[in-house]
Structure 1
Amino acid sequence: MGELRRDADLRAALLRSAAEVAARSGVGAVSIRALARAVGVSHAAHRHHFSSRVGLLTALAAEGHRLLARALEEAAGTDFREVGVAYVRFARDHPGHFVVMFTPDVLDPADGELSAARARTFAVLQGGVDALSSAGRVDDARTAVVAAWSLVHGFAGLAATGNLAGAGLAPDTGEDALLDLARRATGMLYGSPGGGAGRA
């Protein structure tokens, strides 16, 4: 295919390859020249889509936030705990995106696409906490957002890095077991829809 890959297929291939490398070897291992070789184009072909490594990683982070926001929005109509579960599921299923999204020193903070995608993600978390606040279940909405985000982000990170397993705290078997553990952990913070903290 070579130099003919100059359209959206090349952009998608570069982003997909970057996510795979980040998931496997970390953000520091992402090299735009190596990615170009991997997808079968010259090292300069990427410039049609990304002017630099920062541009590529920023686009990957924006894509990740859009995927995450969509997952959170789908869960938001049920129970606020399910928003947290969706967050953990996203981190498990998109590890390359996830690690890049939260490595700010490799991203362009002025990028409008990334800012909009981040805002969309945050709006779902904020909306869930606002609903709890309106129901009288939290007194300090700002702190509640920090607590909710910290819980699910920390849980996702511990699971992704093997630290849950290393401490003997990972569920025994099955992908759904990890999500059930996340559901019970978030229930301890905000409880079930009926308001009973800790009920599964």
Structure 2
Amino acid sequence: MTTSATVIVMGGDSYHHGNLRADLLKRAEAVLAESGADGLSLRALARDLGVSHAAPSRHFRDRQALLDALAVSGFTTLNARMGQAAAGPEPVADRLAELGRTYVRFAVEHAPLLNLMFTVKHDSASTQELRDLGHESLAIAARLIAEGQAASEVRPGDPAALAQVAFSSMHGLAVLAVGSLLEDTPLEAAVELTLEVLLAGLR
């Protein structure tokens, strides 16, 4: 007898325990980091996880559905972390700084995934869910900037436009870090200097 959380592997004697969909996404991100999106296939993931080649199709109709799900998962995780950084009783400037650190940390630790996230988001066939999730990170920053403006802690201006400038600064830094283009400057020091200049401009 098997539990509802157990998937029987057809054509074999082994079993796959746990959440197959989550395991597929986890393995897919690892393959993405190792081989890029071209190295991803449902059949190869099934082989890696020791399940039947048909098992992944229960969760993803095809490879594109897998890529979309990876992007959704990535944006969901990023937005949750940024939302947590933006919340709290700390002054707006402190939360904006933590927001920047959080984004750079995610962008550097999950560089191939982030690249996929933006690629899939901007695809003409992207879903509304994906587009909404993709805009939420910027919206979190814009809401925090608007909060700072209401408290006279942030300069006037369109919060979305100011958030875009801030995002561009932190994203650009992350790209330099991933490309090993910061020379001898430690990433943490580069992040703090960028935030210092950015926050000074937002005051």
TM over 0.5: yes
Please give the per-residue CA displacement for 1:169-193, whole angstroms capped at 9, x wherever unaligned.
Answer: 541xxxxxx2342132022112399
TM-score normalised by structure 1 residue count = 0.78
Counterpart of 1:148 in structure 2 is 166
Give, in whole Å, the separation in 2 of the partners of 1:90 and 1:179.
13
Which residues of 2 match residues 21-100 of structure 1 at below 5 A? 21-77=31-87, 78=90, 79=94, 80-100=96-116
Q: Match of 1:69, as an amino acid?
A: N
Quick one: structure 1 residues 106 and 33, their matched pair in 2 at CA, closer, same or farther if it must change by over 3 Å? farther
Q: Does 1:160 align with 2:164?
A: no
Size of the aligned set, in residue pairs, is: 183
Counterpart of 2:127 in structure 1 is 110
Give, in whole Å, the separation in 2 of the partners of 1:107 and 1:44.
29
Report if aligned partners of 1:58, 1:108 keep a CA contact under 8 Å in 2: no
Correspondence for 2:194 among 160, 166, 185:
185
Q: Match of 1:10, as an amino acid?
A: L
Q: Match of 2:147, as an amino acid?
A: A
Identify the range of structure 1 (8-17 vs 184-193) with the bigger mean alpha-carbon deviation: 184-193
Q: Match of 1:110, as an amino acid?
A: T
Q: More relative contact order in 1 or in 2 (CA 8 Å, sep 6+)? A: 1
Instruction: Indicate the RMSD between aligned Cα atoms, in angstroms.
Output: 2.7
Counterpart of 1:10 in structure 2 is 20
Give, in whole Å, the separation in 2 of the partners of 1:190 and 1:23.
33
Kindly state the Cα deviation for residue 26 of structure 1 after the two structures are TM-superposed. 2.1
Q: Does 1:121 align with 2:141?
A: no
Kindly state the Cα deviation for residue 138 of structure 1 after the two structures are TM-superposed. 4.0
Please, which runs of 5 or more residues in structure 2 have no aligned partner?
A: 1-7
Q: Report % sequence identity.
A: 33
Q: Which has the larger radius of gyration?
A: 2
Please, which runs of 5 or more residues in structure 1 have no aligned partner?
A: 172-177, 196-200
TM-score normalised by structure 2 residue count = 0.77
Give, in whole Å, the separation in 2 of the partners of 1:180 and 1:107.
38
Report if aligned partners of 1:81, 1:186 keep a CA contact under 8 Å in 2: yes
Q: Match of 2:160, as an amino acid?
A: R
Runs of 4+ more than 6 Å apart: none
Report if aligned partners of 1:57, 1:106 keep a CA contact under 8 Å in 2: no
Quick one: structure 1 residues 46 and 180, their matched pair in 2 at CA, closer, same or farther if it must change by over 3 Å? same
Kindly state the Cα deviation for residue 139 of structure 1 after the two structures are TM-superposed. 2.6
Kindly state the Cα deviation for residue 63 of structure 1 after the two structures are TM-superposed. 1.0
Kindly state the Cα deviation for residue 62 of structure 1 after the two structures are TM-superposed. 0.9
